[in-house]
Amino acid sequence: MANDDTELLEQIRSGSPDQFSELVRRHQARVFAILHRYERDAHLLQDLAQETFLKVWRALDQFDSSRAPFEHWLSRIAVHVALDHLRRRQRRITEVGLPQIGEEALNWLRHDGNGRELAARDAREILDAAFNHLSPAERLVITLMELEGRSVKETATLTGSSGVAVRVRAMRARRKLRAALARLEKETK
Amino acid sequence: MNERKLRQLLVASALDSPPAPPADFVARVTAATRREPAPAAPPGIAHQLELLFPRLAPVMLLVFGLCLAAYVGDALMPGPDLSDGVPQLSNQWDFPNPGF
């Protein structure tokens, strides 16, 4: 697929812009998967995905396939679109209360979780409520490392930060996340 | 929240699968790109050379520039040459001190 992407990019840059639709078709699922970690609303998610591909389109002449595969570059753009989105949203959020968490999620929070199942959707609701207490950059790092299982090096490459900065941010984010979750637990009891 | 519960929360959240892109998403993006300028044509040979020799090209340009500057400077301000002192020397030989 990597070589196909390179050939496709050359065709697009050489005067066949319609081939870009094939590029979108190949990679749209990946972009949706990345952005879905940061936005659950379907319409906003589509807007962010479109924004990602438009940024790719505008920067196609700068992409150098000898430095990195296209999908890495695309992922990096998607991550930055997500970060910008979190920053814009943070300016609008003033307070997050328990009403954003459904009953099933609340029940899980109330109990010690021993053997109690937790659906993915409920887990997302709880985490999203806790994530509102983290900075966008902290949420990004925690999402990449804890939810997507990426290494420090991969996270640093995707975010454009140093490995040291990623480690420090991750440590700070974990601490804040625990504190936010502890507060949520306390509020449900 | 204890560690086990936190782990359960993170693992469950990681399993939250994204929605499939809508059927018209590709068409939407394509329509949006048509309102934008087309990507630039592939770079010329100068850029290809720069990709192959990323540091060499500017160094070569610098060396060439310095050589050119030295040549121009030399042409504008010529220094002394061997023939400059010949008249004085020949005068000394032809007209020795008469010793009056």
Task: Give residue-wise pLDDT tens across range A130-178.
Answer: 998 999 999 999 999 999 999 999 999 999 999 999 999 999 999 999 9
Q: Say which DSSP state A99 is in.
A: G
Residue A59 token pair: 């920067």
Interface test mutation site (partner A, options B4, B5, B47, B48, max chain A beta carbons within 10 A): B5
Which residues from B are below 8 Å from A102, CB to CB? Answer: none
Q: Are A23 and A1 in contact (CB under 8 A)?
A: no
Chain A touched by B44 (CB under 8 Å): no
Nearest CA in chain B to A61: B40
pTM: 0.75
pLDDT one-digit tens code per residue, A3-48? 688 888 888 888 888 899 999 999 999 999 999 999 999 999 999 9
Chain A touched by B38 (CB under 8 Å): yes
Q: Exposed, middle or buried, A95 (CB in 10 Å: 0-12/13-18/19+)?
A: exposed
Q: Say which DSSP state B95 is in.
A: S
User: ipTM beyond 0.90?
Assistant: no
CB contact under 8 A, A120 and B13: yes
Place of tokens 């040979």: B45
Which residues from A are below 8 Å from B8, CB to CB? Answer: 113, 118
Q: How near does any CA of chain A get to the CA of B81, in Å?
A: 54
Distance CA A93, CA A147 (A): 23
Q: How far is CA B32 from CA A24, A131, B27, B76, B87, in A?
A: 12, 32, 9, 59, 83
Distance CA A178, CA A166 (A): 18
Assess whether pLDDT exceeds 70 at residue B97.
Answer: no
CA dihedral A168, A173, A174, A178 (to 10 degrees): 150
Which residues from B are below 8 Å from A150, CB to CB? Answer: none
Chain A touched by B26 (CB under 8 Å): yes
Which residues from A are below 8 Å from B20, CB to CB? Answer: 29, 32
- Alpha helices, H only, chain A: 2-13, 20-36, 42-59, 70-92, 103-110, 120-131, 136-142, 152-159, 163-188
Distance CA B88, CA B92 (A): 6
Assess whether pLDDT exceeds 80 at residue A73.
Answer: yes
Distance CA A141, CA A156 (A): 9
Assess whether pLDDT exceeds 70 at residue A94.
Answer: no
Q: Are B2 and A111 in contact (CB under 8 A)?
A: no
CB contact under 8 A, A120 and B15: yes
Q: How far is CA A147 from CA A83, B9, B30, in A?
A: 16, 10, 31
Distance CA A143, CA B87 (A): 89
Which residues from A are below 8 Å from B5, CB to CB? Answer: 112-113
The count of CB pairs under 8 A between chains A and B is: 115
Residue A64: its pLDDT value, please?
A: 85
CB contact under 8 A, B33 and A12: no
CB contact under 8 A, A45 and B40: no
Radius of gyration of chain A measured on its C-alpha atoms: 19
